[in-house]
Homo-oligomer: A and B are copies of this chain.
Amino acid sequence: MSRVTVSELLQGAPKNWGKWGPEDEIGSLNYLTPEEVLRGVRSVRSGKTFTLGAVIGHPKGDPVWPGRTGAMKLMTQDKGHYLSHKVDAAPGGLEYADDYITMFLQGTTQFDALGHTWYDDQIWNGYDAKETIGGMGKASVLPIAEHGVVGRAVLLDMARHRGKPSLSAGETFGVEDLLACAASQNVDIEPHDILVIRTGWLKVFYEQGPEAFYGKVFNEPGLTYSPELVDWFQRMEIPVLATDTIANETTVEPETGVVLPLHNALMRNLGVLFNEILWLEDLADDCAADGQYTFLYVGAPLKIYRGTGAPVNPVAIK
Protein backbone atom coordinates (compact mmCIF):
# COMPACT_ATOMS: atom_id res chain seq x y z
CA MET A 1 0.00 0.00 0.00
CA SER A 2 1.07 3.54 -0.60
CA ARG A 3 0.83 6.34 1.97
CA VAL A 4 -0.76 8.71 -0.52
CA THR A 5 -2.40 8.28 -3.87
CA VAL A 6 -0.79 9.44 -7.05
CA SER A 7 -3.69 11.82 -7.35
CA GLU A 8 -2.76 13.39 -4.03
CA LEU A 9 0.95 13.30 -4.81
CA LEU A 10 0.47 15.16 -8.06
CA GLN A 11 -2.09 17.62 -6.75
CA GLY A 12 -1.22 20.90 -8.44
CA ALA A 13 1.60 19.40 -10.48
CA PRO A 14 2.09 20.91 -13.94
CA LYS A 15 0.29 19.63 -17.03
CA ASN A 16 0.78 20.32 -20.72
CA TRP A 17 -2.76 19.29 -21.59
CA GLY A 18 -4.19 21.42 -24.33
CA LYS A 19 -0.82 23.02 -25.08
CA TRP A 20 -0.83 21.47 -28.56
CA GLY A 21 -4.57 21.53 -29.05
CA PRO A 22 -7.39 19.29 -27.94
CA GLU A 23 -6.59 16.62 -30.53
CA ASP A 24 -2.91 16.22 -29.74
CA GLU A 25 -1.59 12.69 -29.31
CA ILE A 26 2.18 13.16 -29.40
CA GLY A 27 2.79 15.63 -26.58
CA SER A 28 6.37 16.72 -26.09
CA LEU A 29 7.34 15.16 -29.39
CA ASN A 30 6.00 18.45 -30.77
CA TYR A 31 9.22 20.03 -29.51
CA LEU A 32 11.20 18.06 -32.10
CA THR A 33 10.71 20.40 -35.06
CA PRO A 34 12.83 20.25 -38.23
CA GLU A 35 15.13 22.80 -36.61
CA GLU A 36 15.70 20.41 -33.73
CA VAL A 37 16.36 17.62 -36.22
CA LEU A 38 19.07 19.79 -37.77
CA ARG A 39 20.50 20.49 -34.32
CA GLY A 40 20.69 16.74 -33.84
CA VAL A 41 22.32 16.26 -37.22
CA ARG A 42 24.96 18.83 -36.31
CA SER A 43 25.97 16.71 -33.34
CA VAL A 44 27.24 13.97 -35.65
CA ARG A 45 31.02 13.88 -35.96
CA SER A 46 32.54 10.48 -36.76
CA GLY A 47 29.72 8.55 -38.36
CA LYS A 48 29.90 5.81 -35.74
CA THR A 49 26.51 4.19 -35.15
CA PHE A 50 25.05 2.20 -32.29
CA THR A 51 21.77 0.32 -32.20
CA LEU A 52 20.00 0.50 -28.86
CA GLY A 53 17.41 -2.26 -29.09
CA ALA A 54 17.49 -5.36 -26.92
CA VAL A 55 17.61 -8.79 -28.55
CA ILE A 56 14.13 -10.33 -28.88
CA GLY A 57 14.03 -14.03 -28.10
CA HIS A 58 17.46 -13.98 -26.47
CA PRO A 59 18.69 -17.45 -25.46
CA LYS A 60 18.91 -16.20 -21.87
CA GLY A 61 15.34 -14.93 -21.99
CA ASP A 62 13.94 -11.44 -22.40
CA PRO A 63 13.70 -9.00 -19.50
CA VAL A 64 10.08 -7.88 -19.12
CA TRP A 65 7.82 -6.17 -16.63
CA PRO A 66 6.41 -8.75 -14.19
CA GLY A 67 3.23 -10.24 -15.62
CA ARG A 68 4.42 -9.97 -19.18
CA THR A 69 6.15 -12.92 -20.83
CA GLY A 70 8.94 -13.18 -23.36
CA ALA A 71 8.50 -13.47 -27.09
CA MET A 72 7.80 -16.83 -28.75
CA LYS A 73 9.36 -17.00 -32.23
CA LEU A 74 8.61 -20.03 -34.38
CA MET A 75 9.44 -21.09 -37.91
CA THR A 76 6.56 -21.43 -40.32
CA GLN A 77 8.91 -22.98 -42.85
CA ASP A 78 12.59 -23.67 -43.30
CA LYS A 79 14.88 -26.09 -45.15
CA GLY A 80 13.47 -28.92 -43.04
CA HIS A 81 10.03 -28.44 -44.58
CA TYR A 82 11.52 -29.00 -48.03
CA LEU A 83 13.51 -32.04 -46.84
CA SER A 84 10.38 -33.63 -45.38
CA HIS A 85 8.23 -32.72 -48.37
CA LYS A 86 5.88 -30.49 -46.40
CA VAL A 87 6.57 -27.60 -48.78
CA ASP A 88 7.59 -27.47 -52.45
CA ALA A 89 10.09 -25.08 -53.99
CA ALA A 90 8.63 -22.22 -56.06
CA PRO A 91 8.73 -22.47 -59.87
CA GLY A 92 12.41 -22.23 -60.78
CA GLY A 93 13.62 -23.64 -57.49
CA LEU A 94 13.52 -20.79 -54.99
CA GLU A 95 13.17 -21.94 -51.41
CA TYR A 96 12.70 -19.74 -48.35
CA ALA A 97 12.48 -19.66 -44.59
CA ASP A 98 9.77 -17.76 -42.77
CA ASP A 99 8.80 -17.17 -39.17
CA TYR A 100 6.14 -15.95 -36.80
CA ILE A 101 6.18 -14.27 -33.43
CA THR A 102 3.89 -13.80 -30.47
CA MET A 103 4.92 -11.11 -28.01
CA PHE A 104 3.87 -8.32 -25.71
CA LEU A 105 4.16 -5.05 -27.60
CA GLN A 106 6.03 -3.70 -24.61
CA GLY A 107 8.04 -6.88 -24.12
CA THR A 108 11.28 -5.40 -25.46
CA THR A 109 12.81 -1.99 -26.25
CA GLN A 110 9.78 0.17 -26.98
CA PHE A 111 8.02 3.49 -26.87
CA ASP A 112 5.02 3.83 -24.63
CA ALA A 113 1.96 5.41 -26.14
CA LEU A 114 1.15 8.60 -24.23
CA GLY A 115 -2.08 6.95 -23.09
CA HIS A 116 -0.34 3.85 -21.71
CA THR A 117 -0.79 4.81 -18.03
CA TRP A 118 -3.16 7.05 -16.15
CA TYR A 119 -4.97 7.88 -12.92
CA ASP A 120 -8.27 9.59 -12.17
CA ASP A 121 -9.82 8.14 -15.33
CA GLN A 122 -8.02 10.46 -17.73
CA ILE A 123 -5.09 9.81 -20.01
CA TRP A 124 -2.79 12.29 -21.75
CA ASN A 125 -4.44 15.54 -22.84
CA GLY A 126 -7.51 14.74 -20.82
CA TYR A 127 -8.92 11.98 -22.97
CA ASP A 128 -11.24 9.59 -21.16
CA ALA A 129 -9.43 6.45 -19.99
CA LYS A 130 -12.28 4.44 -21.56
CA GLU A 131 -10.64 5.27 -24.88
CA THR A 132 -8.15 2.52 -24.02
CA ILE A 133 -10.83 -0.19 -24.06
CA GLY A 134 -10.27 -2.68 -26.84
CA GLY A 135 -7.35 -0.65 -28.20
CA MET A 136 -6.12 2.91 -27.79
CA GLY A 137 -8.76 5.07 -29.43
CA LYS A 138 -6.72 8.14 -28.44
CA ALA A 139 -3.06 8.74 -27.61
CA SER A 140 -1.95 5.43 -29.10
CA VAL A 141 1.59 4.79 -30.23
CA LEU A 142 0.62 5.23 -33.88
CA PRO A 143 0.96 9.02 -34.13
CA ILE A 144 4.37 8.78 -32.47
CA ALA A 145 5.39 6.09 -34.95
CA GLU A 146 4.14 8.13 -37.88
CA HIS A 147 6.05 11.17 -36.67
CA GLY A 148 9.29 9.42 -35.78
CA VAL A 149 11.62 10.53 -33.05
CA VAL A 150 14.69 12.37 -34.33
CA GLY A 151 16.79 14.86 -32.43
CA ARG A 152 19.87 15.59 -30.42
CA ALA A 153 20.34 13.23 -27.48
CA VAL A 154 22.57 13.31 -24.43
CA LEU A 155 23.74 10.17 -22.71
CA LEU A 156 23.87 10.49 -18.93
CA ASP A 157 25.85 7.53 -17.63
CA MET A 158 24.65 7.44 -14.03
CA ALA A 159 26.29 4.11 -13.34
CA ARG A 160 29.74 5.36 -14.42
CA HIS A 161 29.09 8.63 -12.64
CA ARG A 162 28.63 6.67 -9.43
CA GLY A 163 31.57 4.41 -10.18
CA LYS A 164 29.52 1.24 -10.43
CA PRO A 165 28.97 -1.34 -13.15
CA SER A 166 25.28 -0.87 -12.52
CA LEU A 167 23.04 0.83 -10.01
CA SER A 168 21.47 -1.37 -7.35
CA ALA A 169 17.86 -2.46 -7.04
CA GLY A 170 15.79 0.46 -5.84
CA GLU A 171 18.67 2.96 -6.07
CA THR A 172 17.33 6.39 -6.94
CA PHE A 173 18.54 9.66 -8.39
CA GLY A 174 17.01 13.06 -9.10
CA VAL A 175 17.45 16.17 -11.13
CA GLU A 176 20.51 17.35 -9.24
CA ASP A 177 22.16 13.99 -9.94
CA LEU A 178 21.42 14.35 -13.62
CA LEU A 179 23.05 17.75 -13.65
CA ALA A 180 26.05 16.54 -11.69
CA CYS A 181 26.43 13.62 -14.05
CA ALA A 182 26.27 15.91 -17.07
CA ALA A 183 28.86 18.20 -15.50
CA SER A 184 31.19 15.31 -14.81
CA GLN A 185 30.84 14.31 -18.46
CA ASN A 186 31.52 17.89 -19.60
CA VAL A 187 28.29 18.00 -21.49
CA ASP A 188 25.48 20.53 -21.36
CA ILE A 189 21.90 19.43 -21.35
CA GLU A 190 20.16 21.79 -23.73
CA PRO A 191 16.44 22.44 -24.05
CA HIS A 192 14.72 19.81 -26.25
CA ASP A 193 17.47 17.26 -25.74
CA ILE A 194 16.46 13.63 -25.69
CA LEU A 195 17.64 12.26 -22.34
CA VAL A 196 19.22 8.82 -22.47
CA ILE A 197 20.09 7.60 -19.00
CA ARG A 198 22.23 4.55 -18.35
CA THR A 199 21.89 2.67 -15.06
CA GLY A 200 23.57 -0.56 -16.19
CA TRP A 201 20.47 -2.36 -14.93
CA LEU A 202 19.54 -4.19 -18.13
CA LYS A 203 22.96 -5.82 -18.19
CA VAL A 204 22.19 -7.37 -14.79
CA PHE A 205 19.55 -9.52 -16.45
CA TYR A 206 21.93 -11.03 -18.99
CA GLU A 207 25.02 -11.21 -16.77
CA GLN A 208 23.54 -12.15 -13.40
CA GLY A 209 20.31 -13.77 -14.44
CA PRO A 210 16.61 -13.31 -13.73
CA GLU A 211 16.94 -13.92 -9.99
CA ALA A 212 19.24 -10.94 -9.55
CA PHE A 213 17.17 -8.83 -11.90
CA TYR A 214 13.73 -9.50 -10.46
CA GLY A 215 14.75 -10.07 -6.84
CA LYS A 216 12.14 -10.98 -4.25
CA VAL A 217 10.25 -7.80 -5.01
CA PHE A 218 10.91 -6.19 -8.35
CA ASN A 219 12.31 -2.73 -7.73
CA GLU A 220 14.37 -1.14 -10.46
CA PRO A 221 16.82 1.68 -9.90
CA GLY A 222 15.98 4.95 -11.53
CA LEU A 223 14.79 8.49 -11.41
CA THR A 224 12.35 9.21 -8.66
CA TYR A 225 9.63 11.77 -8.22
CA SER A 226 10.14 15.27 -6.93
CA PRO A 227 8.32 18.47 -7.81
CA GLU A 228 11.67 19.92 -8.89
CA LEU A 229 12.26 17.09 -11.32
CA VAL A 230 8.89 17.58 -12.95
CA ASP A 231 9.37 21.33 -13.16
CA TRP A 232 12.80 20.84 -14.71
CA PHE A 233 11.41 18.50 -17.38
CA GLN A 234 8.71 20.99 -18.19
CA ARG A 235 11.04 23.99 -18.23
CA MET A 236 13.68 22.20 -20.34
CA GLU A 237 10.96 20.95 -22.67
CA ILE A 238 12.47 17.47 -22.64
CA PRO A 239 10.75 15.50 -25.43
CA VAL A 240 11.90 11.98 -24.58
CA LEU A 241 13.15 10.06 -21.57
CA ALA A 242 15.02 6.87 -22.49
CA THR A 243 16.71 4.43 -20.13
CA ASP A 244 18.04 0.91 -19.84
CA THR A 245 15.39 -0.16 -17.36
CA ILE A 246 11.97 -1.66 -17.88
CA ALA A 247 10.05 1.35 -16.62
CA ASN A 248 12.39 4.39 -16.74
CA GLU A 249 11.98 5.18 -13.04
CA THR A 250 12.39 3.46 -9.73
CA THR A 251 9.53 0.98 -9.41
CA VAL A 252 8.31 2.22 -6.04
CA GLU A 253 8.73 5.84 -5.01
CA PRO A 254 10.40 5.36 -1.61
CA GLU A 255 8.84 8.33 0.20
CA THR A 256 5.22 7.46 -0.50
CA GLY A 257 5.12 3.91 -1.81
CA VAL A 258 3.41 5.11 -4.98
CA VAL A 259 4.20 2.86 -7.95
CA LEU A 260 5.71 4.55 -11.04
CA PRO A 261 4.66 8.16 -10.30
CA LEU A 262 6.79 9.57 -13.15
CA HIS A 263 4.73 7.66 -15.70
CA ASN A 264 1.94 9.94 -14.63
CA ALA A 265 3.82 13.11 -13.72
CA LEU A 266 5.92 13.16 -16.91
CA MET A 267 4.09 11.06 -19.49
CA ARG A 268 0.41 11.51 -18.65
CA ASN A 269 0.65 15.10 -17.48
CA LEU A 270 3.49 16.62 -19.51
CA GLY A 271 3.41 14.38 -22.57
CA VAL A 272 7.05 13.29 -22.25
CA LEU A 273 7.70 10.20 -24.40
CA PHE A 274 9.04 7.15 -22.57
CA ASN A 275 11.48 4.93 -24.45
CA GLU A 276 12.31 1.92 -22.30
CA ILE A 277 14.54 -1.17 -22.08
CA LEU A 278 17.41 0.24 -24.15
CA TRP A 279 20.71 -1.53 -24.59
CA LEU A 280 23.24 1.20 -23.75
CA GLU A 281 26.41 -0.70 -22.88
CA ASP A 282 28.21 -0.34 -26.22
CA LEU A 283 27.21 3.27 -26.70
CA ALA A 284 28.26 4.14 -23.14
CA ASP A 285 31.65 2.49 -23.52
CA ASP A 286 32.25 4.48 -26.65
CA CYS A 287 31.15 7.77 -25.06
CA ALA A 288 33.46 7.13 -22.13
CA ALA A 289 36.29 6.46 -24.56
CA ASP A 290 35.91 9.48 -26.81
CA GLY A 291 34.21 11.88 -24.44
CA GLN A 292 31.40 12.62 -26.89
CA TYR A 293 28.12 12.18 -25.03
CA THR A 294 25.86 13.83 -27.58
CA PHE A 295 24.56 12.25 -30.77
CA LEU A 296 21.76 12.15 -33.30
CA TYR A 297 19.05 9.88 -31.99
CA VAL A 298 16.76 8.26 -34.59
CA GLY A 299 14.03 5.94 -33.43
CA ALA A 300 10.63 5.23 -34.91
CA PRO A 301 8.57 2.53 -33.21
CA LEU A 302 6.53 0.17 -35.34
CA LYS A 303 3.28 1.68 -36.54
CA ILE A 304 0.96 -0.42 -34.41
CA TYR A 305 -2.65 0.59 -34.93
CA ARG A 306 -4.17 1.50 -31.54
CA GLY A 307 -1.05 0.17 -29.79
CA THR A 308 -0.30 0.88 -26.13
CA GLY A 309 3.32 0.87 -27.17
CA ALA A 310 5.51 -0.50 -29.93
CA PRO A 311 8.94 -2.05 -30.31
CA VAL A 312 11.80 0.00 -31.70
CA ASN A 313 15.50 -0.44 -32.35
CA PRO A 314 16.79 3.12 -32.01
CA VAL A 315 19.99 4.23 -33.69
CA ALA A 316 22.53 6.58 -32.16
CA ILE A 317 24.70 8.34 -34.73
CA LYS A 318 27.77 10.00 -33.27
Contact = CB atoms under 8 A, between A and B. Distances in A.
Interface of A: 1-2, 4-7, 9, 33-38, 41, 44, 46-51, 53-59, 68-69, 72-81, 83-87, 89-106, 108, 113, 115-121, 129-137, 142, 145-148, 150, 252-253, 256-261, 263-264, 296, 298, 300-309, 311-315, 317
Contacts of A134: 75, 77-78, 80-81, 84, 86-87
A84 B83 CA distance: 12
18 contacts: A2-B92, A34-B49, A41-B41, A49-B147, A50-B148, A51-B300, A75-B132, A75-B133, A79-B121, A80-B130, A94-B118, A94-B264, A96-B308, A99-B104, A150-B317, A298-B315, A298-B317, A300-B315
Contacts of A304: 55-57, 73, 99, 101
Nearest to A62: B305
B53 A44 contact: no
Given A6-B93, A78-B134, A106 B98 contact: yes
Given A51-B145, A55-B303, 19 more contacts: A4-B92, A5-B93, A34-B49, A35-B47, A41-B47, A51-B300, A51-B303, A72-B102, A79-B80, A80-B132, A81-B133, A86-B134, A92-B256, A94-B117, A95-B129, A99-B308, A100-B105, A298-B298, A300-B313
A71 to B, nearest CB: 8
A263 to B, nearest CB: 7
Nearest to A77: B134
B92 A132 contact: no
Each complex incorporates copies of this chain amounting to 4
Contacts of A260: 90, 94
A49 B95 contact: no
Contact of A72 (B9, B100, B306, B312): B100
Contact of A145 (B1, B59, B313): B313
A76 B74 contact: yes
A54 to B, nearest CB: 7
A84 B130 contact: yes
B34 A148 contact: no
